[in-house]
């Protein structure tokens, strides 16, 4: 600790020459340069805007549910995928805001990548209708980091065939005017047309290109 800010909060100094990548919390906000792949996480617009409040969009009204989850850097997303996810702890994950409005606008220009996170845990709660952890344990793991309330989580737990909890750290965002829409991703080969988006793997070089497209200084994120 090197001092305190005006809110009397401790200020800590981290050396770029001695980063500990054994735990994403220790290396935050830097990404391990030896990661093998990244992935995509699809989040519907209203939930996205609560989970990732700093991921602003140009000419779009943000929709938020008033929850404490918006303030923390640790996020949890509950998914019901067809297949077991390929995400691994320590890997980057790109957040894709899925535009769901039926207002005549083309989703390909409204749905976009807005942020990037690092996976800190993957919890398989249900697989092929078989519960792998109890509902009580699931609630304890989720705590107050989800946009869903207890009743909504219970409905998912009881009715979904597969249920996966993705825990991640909110590492960064592209910001208004810099988000990468579906049209660009598709035309540049980042979304394979025959593969569901979350099944796509993103190579380290592709990930760096996406960061640059989002106007992120890669040298400030991935320290070689």
What's the pLDDT at 49? 84
What's the pLDDT at 69? 55
- Phi then psi for residue 57, to 5 deg, are -125, 145
Superfamily of domain 17-215: Hypothetical protein. (2.30.130.30)
What's the pLDDT at 66? 46
Query: How many whole angstroms from its chain centre is CA 65?
Result: 17
What's the pLDDT at 155? 95
Distance CA 219, CA 224 (A): 8
> Are 163 and 125 within 8 A, CB to CB?
yes
By DSSP bridging, strand 39-44 and strand 92-98 are parallel
What's the pLDDT at 13? 74
Cis peptide before 206 (omega within 30 of 0): no
pTM above 0.75, yes or no: yes
Distance CA 169, CA 54 (A): 14
Supply the DSSP symbol for 135: H
Buried b (16+ CB within 10 A) or exposed e, 145-183: bbbbeeeebeebbeebebbbbbbbbbbbbbbeebbbbbb
The series of mean pLDDT values per 10 residues for the chain, 224 residues long, is 72 79 92 96 89 67 50 86 92 94 77 95 96 95 84 94 95 92 93 85 97 96 88
């Amino acid at each position: 600790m090197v001092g305190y800010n005006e809110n009397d909060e401790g200020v800590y100094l981290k050396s770029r020459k001695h980063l500990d990548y054994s735990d994403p919390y220790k290396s935050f906000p830097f990404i391990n340069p030896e990661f093998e792949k990244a992935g995509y996480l699809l989040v519907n617009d209203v939930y996205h805007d609560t989970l990732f409040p700093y991921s602003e969009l140009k000419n779009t009204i943000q929709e938020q549910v008033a929850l404490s989850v918006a303030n923390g850097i640790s996020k949890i997303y509950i998914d019901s995928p067809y297949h077991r996810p390929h995400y691994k702890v320590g890997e980057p994950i790109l957040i894709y805001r899925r535009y769901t409005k039926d207002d005549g606008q083309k989703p390909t220009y409204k749905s976009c990548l807005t942020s990037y996170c690092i996976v800190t845990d993957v919890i398989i709660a249900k697989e092929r209708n078989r519960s792998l952890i109890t509902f009580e344990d699931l609630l304890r793991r989720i705590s107050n980091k989800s946009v869903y309330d207890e009743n909504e989580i219970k409905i998912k737990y009881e009715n979904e065939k597969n249920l996966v909890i993705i825990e991640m750290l909110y590492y960064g965002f592209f910001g208004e005017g810099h988000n990468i829409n579906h049209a660009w991703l598709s035309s540049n080969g980042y979304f394979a047309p025959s593969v569901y988006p979350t099944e796509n793997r993103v190579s380290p070089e592709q990930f760096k290109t996406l960061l640059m497209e989002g106007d992120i200084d890669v040298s400030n994120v991935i320290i070689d």
